[in-house]
Amino acid sequence: MTMTTPKQGRAAARFPWWEWWVDRKRRFVRDETLQLDDAVFRTLAVGTGLPAIQQRSNFAFDTVKDGADRFLGMSVNGERPYARIYTRLGNPTTEYLERVLFQLEAYHVIDKALAVDERQPTIGSLCFASGMGAISALFMSVLKQGDAVVLGSVYGCTDSLARNLSRFGVEARFVDVTDAAAVEAAVAAPDVAMLFVESPENPTLHLCDLQAASAACEQHGVLFAVDNTFCSPWLQQPFRLGADVIVHSVTKFINGHSSSVAGALLGPFPMLRDDVFGWYKDLGATPSPFDSWLNGMLVQSLAVRQDGQSASAQRIAVHLFSHSKVAAVHYPGLPSHPQHALAQRQMRNGGSLIAFELTGGMAAGVKVMNYFARKDTPMELAVSLGGAISYVQHPASMTHSGVPEADRNARGISAGLVRLSVGLEGTEVLLEHLDRALAKT
Ligand SMILES: Cc1ncc(COP(=O)(O)O)c(C=O)c1O
């Protein structure tokens, strides 16, 4: 993709590292190959061993100089700066997970940077106590009074966080990310500092053309952040598509077993060092070493789990699509999805989230969800997603209840929309019970 000369937008004017980063993005970060190589994933995530759990709040220094050096952010014995002072600033067990996630999202950058003898890391990675911890640290680090942040249709708490920044003089503006021209027009406004999107969006499964959005942001000097929770690095690689920042709710696919709440933020190394780290340590949403160890273990099976979940979801989406009781199915892996071609380009497969509406509307949806709330059926009536257990939930009254109703309706989060996160119970079991549930409507 050819890029024109960047303008001096808010982010470009604010961050001393912007030009450095735009150059690195062009040379190392964007990539023609859009997916992580399968063998590389298995080597990186599975083959590197787990560290011991350093379940402690602080670390003894060897000498006064050692302590002072560590407080200066010096890296000792190749560890990440601040990894061995006080766990709110960093912890070796968390550092391991940060490195794994960095490699999964940005492995392709390493060889290209080393080939030209680049010494400074291009991309940094920090883990958080939750996805919202990562997102709030990002917002605090980047946005200032008088700025606007443009968002797609995002997770309910991201939405309310952005709206609540109005008390600090930051305006949240929302855009339909399926409309590339509208995205470009939104980021062209001179007060915009950041574009923040999910793709696919939660829960409508609308996609953002990440390459087009990235080109618009770069053109206007605006930071481009992608919440990659719905895909994980296995299904989608936003850096290769031109993202500046990636956030994850590690709680979802990376953990994959609903056993911990955690988050991650990856972005230009100088941004993490100079802009984010201060907020990271002062806001204090740092993960416990045990949670980091757990997630470092569970990420090992990410690819196998997600491939299985996606294959099941694909079959379930096809089945729902032809079911007489189902009025609409939203799933990027279906040819009927309006952005199916885009999904095929930027995602490894259609993923394991499906949203659907029933011919019987909300009342029928309630019957289906209550069927799965029973203890003798698979699935749970629960929020969250990406786990081995399938979850069914009602976005309008649950995950997205914080989004004003008019905005929910405009974004397609109708009262009758049901969201399904397909787990690992097995396709046949899930299809059988979906049919039984639908028969009740
Ligand atoms: C797309 C997305 N981003 C962020 C979050 C927030 O993550 P956490 O619950 O780990 O704080 C969620 C949670 O559901 C989510 O679905």
Residue 161 beta carbon below 6 angstroms from any ligand 1 atom: no
78's tokens: 């190749």
Structural domain contains residue 316: yes
State the distance from the centre of ligand 1 to the C-alpha of 244, rounded, in angstroms. 19
Whether residues 233 and 98 fall in one domain: yes
Q: Are residues 231 and 330 in the same domain?
A: no
Q: Among residues 300, 317, 349, which one ends one of the domains?
A: 300
Residue from 34, 71, 91, 44 nearest 287 by CA: 91
Residue 169 lies inside a defined structural domain of this protein = no
CATH number at residue 362: 3.90.1150.10
| Domain-located, residue 165 | no
Which residues have CB under 8 Å from 65's CB, separation 6+?
none
Q: Whose CA is nearest to atom 14 of ligand 1?
A: 384
Q: Is the CB of 339 under 6 A from ligand 1?
A: no
Of 245, 277, 300, which residue constitutes the final position of a domain? 300
Same domain assignment for residues 232 and 329: no
Q: Are strands 380-381 and 148-151 parallel, antiparallel or unpaired?
A: unpaired
The DSSP annotation for 178-217 comes to T-HHHHHHHHTSTTEEEEEEESSPTTT-----HHHHHHHH
Q: Is 229 in the pocket of ligand 1 (CB under 6 A)?
A: yes
Cα distances (angstroms) measured from residue 252 to each of 101, 130, 206, 223, 238: 14, 10, 19, 25, 17
Give me ligand 1 centre to Cα 248, in Å. 7
* Residue 36 DSSP one-character state: -
CATH code for position 292: 3.40.640.10
- Count of domains forming the chain: 2
Assess whether 311 and 276 both reside in one domain. no
CA distance 420 to 12: 40
What separation in Å is there between the alpha carbon of 161 and the centre of ligand 1?
Answer: 12
- Is there a single domain that holds both residue 322 and residue 408? yes
Atom number in ligand 1 closest to CA 262: 10
Same domain, residue pair 353 and 434: yes
Q: What is the pTM of this model?
A: 0.96
CA 380 / ligand 1 centre spacing (Å): 18
| Radius of gyration, alpha carbons of the chain | 22
User: What is the 73 CA–ligand 1 centroid distance (Å)?
Assistant: 30
One domain for residues 279 and 328: no
Examine the fold and report which residue of 278, 300, 322 is the final residue of a domain before the chain moves on.
Answer: 300
Closest protein CA for atom 16 of ligand 1: 155
Based on the domain organization, do 258 and 396 belong to the same domain?
Answer: no
Which pLDDT belongs to residue 44? Answer: 81
Site to substitute for ligand 1 among 201, 251, 286, 288, most atoms within 8 A of C-beta: 251
Let me know if residue 230 belongs to a domain: yes
Same domain flag for 291 and 390: no
Q: Domain of 376?
A: 301-439
137 lines ligand 1 (CB under 6 A): no
Query: Is 197 domain-assigned?
Result: no
Statement to judge: residues 295 and 305 lie in one domain? no
Instruction: Please work out whether the CB of residue 421 comes within 6 Å of at least one atom of ligand 1.
Output: no
Is residue 232 located within the same domain as residue 126?
A: yes
CA distances from 261 to 80, 133, 256 (A): 23, 10, 11
Cα 393 to averaged position of ligand 1 atoms, centre (Å): 15
Same domain membership, residue 118 and residue 85: yes
Ligand 1 site, residue 249, Cβ cutoff 6 A: yes
- Which residue minimizes the CA distance to atom 6 of ligand 1? 131
What is the model's pLDDT at position 48? 72
Which residues of the chain carry a pLDDT beneath 50?
A: 1-2, 4
Residue whose CA is at the smallest distance from ligand 1 atom 8: 131
Q: Is residue 375 part of a domain?
A: yes
Q: Would you state the pLDDT for residue 6?
A: 56
pLDDT of residue 245: 98
Query: Of all protein residues, whose CA lies closest to atom 15 belonging to ligand 1?
Result: 155
Asked if the structure places residue 200 within a domain, the reply is: no
Q: Is 380 helix (H, G, I), strand (E, B) or coil?
A: strand
Contacts of residue 322, Cβ cutoff 8 Å, sequence gap at least 6: none
Ligand 1 centre distance from Cα of residue 408 (Å): 18
| pLDDT tens readout for residues 206-249 | 999 999 999 999 999 999 999 999 999 999 999 999 999 999 99
Ligand 1 center to residue 251 CA distance, Å?
7
Asked whether residue 204 is domain-assigned, the answer is no
CA of 149 relative to ligand 1 center, distance in Å: 19
Q: How far is the CA of 131 from the centre of ligand 1 (A)?
A: 5
pLDDT given for residue 78 in this prediction: 85
Q: Which atom of ligand 1 is nearest to the CA of 230?
A: 1
